[in-house]
């Protein structure tokens, strides 16, 4: 059995959002994203994956194409395939978001999905 404590993956950087891989299998991909004030991820889009965007801590604005919604801790947003996703920290406090995609998204840039990992 694989198990991880998400708290151990939480790190922040003033330079950019921090991406921390959680699990990746043939059928599922997940990463924890830590956002400081005014940080944003996106656009992200995959034609073949559905994504769950779970707010673990803080408050964010989730934008799907042109629709926006402010969501807080414990909220989950379903992102349909072929939909542009943006996530922006919506408060002065740090925010943590768990993205889970099935099947794993295709990487079109030739980079690892967690390549944007940054540490101060």
Asked if the model's pLDDT at residue 112 lies above 80, the reply is no
- In this predicted model, what pLDDT tens digit does every residue of 13-26 receive, in sequence order? 999 999 999 999 99
C-alpha span between 95 and 39 (Å, rounded): 9
Instruction: Tell me which H or E stretch contains 63.
Output: strand 59-64
Instruction: Tell me which H or E stretch contains 67.
Output: strand 67-72
Q: Model pTM?
A: 0.86
What pLDDT, on the 0 to 100 scale, is given for residue 24? 95
- In this predicted model, what pLDDT tens digit does every residue of 40-93 receive, in sequence order? 999 999 999 999 999 999 999 999 999 999 999 999 999 999 999 999 999 999
| CATH number 2.60.120.10 is the correct assignment for the domain at 14-102 | yes
């Amino acid at each position: 059995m694989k198990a991880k404590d998400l708290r151990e993956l939480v790190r922040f950087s003033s330079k950019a959002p921090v991406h921390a891989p959680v699990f990746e299998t043939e059928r599922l991909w997940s990463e924890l994203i830590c956002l400081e004030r005014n940080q944003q991820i996106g656009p992200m889009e995959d034609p073949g994956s559905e994504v769950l965007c779970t707010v673990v801590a803080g408050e964010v604005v989730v934008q799907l194409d042109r629709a926006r919604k402010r969501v807080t801790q414990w909220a989950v947003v379903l992102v349909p395939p072929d939909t542009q996703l943006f996530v922006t920290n919506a408060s002065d406090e740090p925010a943590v978001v768990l993205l889970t995609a099935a099947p794993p998204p295709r990487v079109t840039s030739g980079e690892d999905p967690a390549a944007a990992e940054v540490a101060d």
